[in-house]
């Protein structure tokens, strides 16, 4: 039988600590799904995800939502493999669905500076949805130049560089089932 505590996973060795376990994430995602199901009952809901980091959260969240809904993905990047945003957002993929008149819920992994989320929201609003709200798994406590109104928040976190559950550093660590703080020596070397 395989170990489930992560002790056999080499990636755990590069974490200073686990911030949220797999069980913590599952519990909170289920709670968010229940709340979204209540709030959007009888409405034409479309979940929109920003590739790549939020795809794990989206997959788990959409399975907890008990009302009919569609989903789509957009591509946007501002990190380019580093630990902080470049400040320049590149749109790499637009939504494929017709979003006019639909209630959109942008499902994001982490709110850091707000730059990427603002650009993606502007892009989505061009399609004239009925509404646009944001569900963010992690809200990093930090000062932001741009205000980003979040309707649903999984967890408030300190200003730390976190990985796991879809979040990466140079495309690594996405497969960790938890969210952990990456050791600074890993990304400052």
| Residues that are catalytic | 112
Residue at token pair 């669905």: 97
The answer to whether residues 110 and 161 touch, using CB atoms and an 8 Å cutoff, is no
Among residues 8, 9, 16, the alpha carbon closest in space to that of 163 is found at 16
CA 81 to chain centre: 17
| Alpha carbon distance, N-terminus to C-terminus of the chain | 36
Token pair 């907890």: residue: 64
* Three-state helix/strand/coil letters over 46-100: EEEEEECCCHHHHHHHHHHCCCCEEEEEEEEECCCCCCCCCCCCEEEECCCCCCC
């Amino acid at each position: 039988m395989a170990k489930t505590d992560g002790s056999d996973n080499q990636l755990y060795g590069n974490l200073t600590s686990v911030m949220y376990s797999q069980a913590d994430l599952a519990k909170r995602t289920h709670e968010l799904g229940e709340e979204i199901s209540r709030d959007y009952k009888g409405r034409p809901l479309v979940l929109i995800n920003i590739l790549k980091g939020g795809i794990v959260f989206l997959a788990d969240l959409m399975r907890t939502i008990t009302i009919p809904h569609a989903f789509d993905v957009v591509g946007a990047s501002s990190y380019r493999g580093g630990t902080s945003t470049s400040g320049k957002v590149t749109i790499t993929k637009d939504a494929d669905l017709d979003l006019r008149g639909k209630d959109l819920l942008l499902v994001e992994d982490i709110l850091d500076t707000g730059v990427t989320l603002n650009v993606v929201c502007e892009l989505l609003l061009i399609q004239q949805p009925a509404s646009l709200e944001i569900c963010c798994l992690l809200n990093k406590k930090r000062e932001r130049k741009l205000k980003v109104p979040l309707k649903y928040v999984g967890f408030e976190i300190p200003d730390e560089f976190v990985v796991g559950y879809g979040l990466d550093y140079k495309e690594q660590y996405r497969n960790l089932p938890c969210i952990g703080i990456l050791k600074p020596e890993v990304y400052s070397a």
